[in-house]
Amino acid sequence: MLIIEHDMPLIMSISDRVYCLERGAIIAEGEPETVRSEGHNVRFLYIDIDTLRADHLGCYGYHRDTSPNIDAIAAEGIRFENVYASDVPCLPSRTALATGLFGIRNGVVNHGGLAADLRAEGPKRHFIGKIASNAWASKFYWAGWHTASISSFPFRHSASWWNHGVMEAMNLMRGFGGERADEVLPGALDWLDRSGANDNWFLHLHLWDPHTPYNTPDEYGNPFEGDPVPSWHTEEVRQHNWGLAGPHSAQEPWGYTPDEWGHPPPRQPWNADSMDAVKGIFDGYDVGIKYADDAVGAVVNKLSDLGVLDDTAILISSDHGEAFGELGVYADHQAADEATCHIPSILRWPGLEPRVYEGLHYHLDIGATVVDLAGIAVPAGWWSGESAGPALRDGSESGRDALFLSQGAWACQRGVRFGDHLYLRTAHDGYHAHWQPEMLFNIADDPHEMHDIAADDPALTNEASGRLDTWIDEQLAIALGDQRDPMDIVLEEGGPYHCRGHLDGYLERLRETGRGNWADVLTDRHTANTG
């Protein structure tokens, strides 16, 4: 046990067991080691583009020119092909990244209710809790870096823990998550003018433009007016999806009714009643990516003007993706599936050669990798994330054998991504009546999840189910607090936050729109939640 003495400096290079906040206070013990990153005069910029799916960027093979500035960074850096958010959507994903812990361990899997707050650490909590002391930004702070974040996320989700370790927490916008890049960019450029030429800084910059609603200014136009939609989304797919049920389905792409907002969101049709309407939905999203990409270009140009671009590490990634017909969902992020969990991750790090990296990783593995590359010790044994730094340094490949994925805000669903496959287990369908309790997809051949093969391959389905059961048991054994499964808590509270209170009205809408068969299915499944 260590005691803080009055003459110890505020920023120390000795250990995370020591925090100099109150003279003589016993702060913490048994924390993993951290050291100051001596000799690493690297600046780190994390450009966090909300709701950005990998396959809508040029560097990941997209046919539209959505991302020329991001593509240029990818050409000079490491493009991770298979990075997945462990927990989705927004609040669970960033909580996992900030804490370094899976949602099943930190407790956050939902957007409301008890499972939208961190688990209490209990009677063993020290002056600074273990979650705060081991937060992603805290690792940089305790190593002597200047840490900053420009984001409305902590306001939007009451997630103060995002700012653990952040010296400058700036919500300079009033969009509460709906702000455009032109509203975020001035604060970012001002910060860079003031601090960008300094050494050893960590800046998180949050852009929201691809997040529903896609509200790029009208005067920006539509750069993709002449471009077709992705070839996989055919009229046959549209017609199939038109008959399905669920919020953000083809007949209700903006909620539980097409006019839930009183009008369609900016740049959007009422529903997906034609391929022209489908194109409008795709266009709105892709224009949002392009608008965010322009902001990326402006920030990179500022770094160049300051003469620090070559010494600045840049990570471009996201919290989750967006579905455009996958599992019947449009313009939202409601499953633990490929469309929602597979995210881009592009890392340009001074001294590392450009490459494409194929290994399976979580987004919190990339967080651990950045800490490692910065010369800071990763909290092994505490974080769920594992660094890919050794493989990046020696040019080899590494990765996880399987990834375990979670969605608790729009559905209660967990997945296993392994080999060529994705297994999904659904405890609450989010009123997507066609979702089965177990589904299996060959992601290599069917990345848009058109063909559920669970019934065709029961052995592989059972193998994936067993893997998931083992993982859940292992994680709950090391979880904080009372070690209850937070997904069980969501179910006990009445289901995912975004579903609560909507069932009766939605059953009525389904019957009014010729989808009474799905209303009957949902009534049978959710009898306790009706009335």
For 472-490, the pLDDT digits (tens) are: 999 999 998 888 999 999 9
pLDDT of residue 528: 61
161: which residues sit within 8 A by CB, 6+ positions away?
Answer: 95, 98, 99, 118, 131, 132, 135
End-to-end CA distance of the chain: 57
List the structure tokens of 197.
């030429």
Q: How many helices (H) and strands (E) does the chain have?
A: 16, 15
Q: What percent of the chain has pLDDT over 70?
A: 92
Domains of the chain: 43-400 (3.40.720.10), 503-531 (no CATH)
| Placement of tokens 């299915």 in the chain | 521
pLDDT of residue 42: 86
Q: Which of 249, 236, 237, 234 is nearest to 515 (CA)?
A: 249
Point out the residues of the chain with pLDDT beneath 70: 1-41, 528-531
260: which residues sit within 8 A by CB, 6+ positions away?
Answer: 252, 254
Other Cβ atoms within 10 Å of 295 Cβ, number: 22
pTM: 0.93
The whole-angstrom distance between residue 43's C-alpha and the CA centroid of its chain comes to 23
pLDDT of residue 1: 31
pLDDT of residue 343: 98
List the structure tokens of 493.
């509270």
| Placement of tokens 């996992």 in the chain | 96
Separation CA 331–CA 318 (nearest Å): 16
Separation CA 215–CA 168 (nearest Å): 28
Contact between residue 317 and residue 343 where contact means Cβ atoms under 8 Å apart: yes
Q: How many residues does the chain have?
A: 531
Separation CA 305–CA 16 (nearest Å): 36
Separation CA 25–CA 493 (nearest Å): 40
Q: What does residue 355 show for φ and ψ, rounded to 5 degrees?
A: -165, 165
pLDDT of residue 7: 34
pLDDT of residue 527: 82
Separation CA 380–CA 382 (nearest Å): 5
Separation CA 54–CA 344 (nearest Å): 4
